[in-house]
């Protein structure tokens, strides 16, 4: 499913936090959202996912204005992995992942085989099958993050929004999760701080600065020494990596 944002703006009181953002994400594409702290990445993701209404502008998912789509119907198509999602503590890992099935179930329907296999498959994909009966509150930070991603996968969405999904993860799991997101047959928009991981796993990158889009394109087009200096205030060399020609950033100490 495609995601199109047209002239999105949002703010609180007199402060504009997202300013006139337009972007297009093609079906199946993985779009990276990067920008310094406070540049508006989380706020924009929430607008794109329909969790917050824009002051002006609109978001279309698969050609429909999401402002007109009922919330339950939207949550059958769109999953959101938050930065630090709160979860009720007195539950098991499988209980948390089962919550992902909520949009697909009616009040009267029982738990189906489809629901069960979606949960089993989601746990498998994030490598948490052996933990399904473990109490949620006993998990490490990285394990919780993987279970939140499993919950989103169990939702069987067509579009996935992920806010810093690699937070708390060791490097193996950072790479595993981003590779999985890239290889999933769905459209994904992922806010990331690690610019090299964004270069490795995103088809295109949007750079936010002060709530506005200041660059958009392939990793090679966007990740230039000038942009890194102007937006992120760092000096860097860019090497063409052996990894499918993706840029590799070497930060320089000066």
Ligand X SMILES: Nc1ncnc2c1ncn2[C@@H]1O[C@H](COP(=O)(O)OP(=O)(O)OP(=O)(O)O)[C@@H](O)[C@H]1O
What is the binding site for ligand X (CB under 6 A)? 12, 17, 35, 37-43
Smallest separation (angstroms) from ligand X to the CB of 177: 18
Sorted by sequence, the CB contacts under 8 Å of residue 132 that are 6+ apart come out as 92, 93, 94, 97, 123
Comparing CB distances to ligand X, the nearer of 156 and 206 is: 206
Comparing CB distances to ligand X, the nearer of 3 and 17 is: 17
Comparing CB distances to ligand X, the nearer of 95 and 163 is: 163
Smallest separation (angstroms) from ligand X to the CB of 41: 4
Distances (CA, A) of 82 to 40, 72, 223: 14, 18, 25
152 and 79 in contact (C-beta within 8 Å)?
yes
Comparing CB distances to ligand X, the nearer of 35 and 157 is: 35
Comparing CB distances to ligand X, the nearer of 35 and 50 is: 35
Distance CA 45, CA 53 (A): 11
Smallest separation (angstroms) from ligand X to the CB of 234: 15
Which position has the token pair 């999985």? 180
Smallest separation (angstroms) from ligand X to the CB of 84: 10
Burial class (CB in 10 A: 0-12, 13-18, 19+), 241: middle
Q: Give the count of beta carbons closer than 10 Å to the beta carbon of residue 100.
A: 23
Smallest separation (angstroms) from ligand X to the CB of 48: 12
């Amino acid at each position: 499913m495609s995601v199109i944002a047209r002239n999105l703006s949002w703010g609180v009181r007199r402060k504009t936090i997202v300013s006139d953002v337009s972007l297009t994400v093609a079906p199946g594409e993985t779009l990276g959202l990067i920008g310094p702290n406070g540049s508006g990445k989380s706020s924009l993701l929430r607008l794109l996912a329909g969790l917050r209404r824009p002051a002006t502008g609109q978001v279309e998912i698969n050609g429909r204005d999401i402002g007109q789509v009922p919330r339950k119907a939207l949550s059958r198509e769109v999953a959101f992995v938050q930065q630090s999602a709160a979860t009720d503590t007195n539950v098991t890992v499988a209980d948390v992942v089962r919550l992902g099935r909520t949009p697909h179930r009616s009040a009267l329907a029982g738990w189906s085989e489809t629901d069960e296999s979606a949960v089993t498959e989601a746990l498998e994909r994030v490598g948490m099958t052996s933990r399904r009966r473990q109490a949620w509150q006993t998990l490490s930070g990285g394990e919780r993050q993987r279970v939140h991603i499993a919950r989103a996968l169990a939702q069987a969405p067509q579009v996935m929004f992920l806010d810093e999904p690699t937070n708390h993860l060791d490097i193996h799991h950072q790479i595993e999760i981003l590779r999985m997101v890239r290889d999933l047959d769905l459209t994904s928009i992922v806010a990331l701080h690690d610019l090299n991981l964004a270069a490795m796993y995103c088809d295109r990158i949007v750079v936010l600065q002060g709530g506005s889009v200041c660059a958009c394109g392939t990793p090679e087009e966007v990740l230039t020494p000038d942009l890194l200096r102007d937006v992120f205030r760092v000096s860097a060399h860019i090497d063409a990596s052996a990894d499918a020609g993706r840029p590799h950033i070497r930060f320089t100490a000066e």
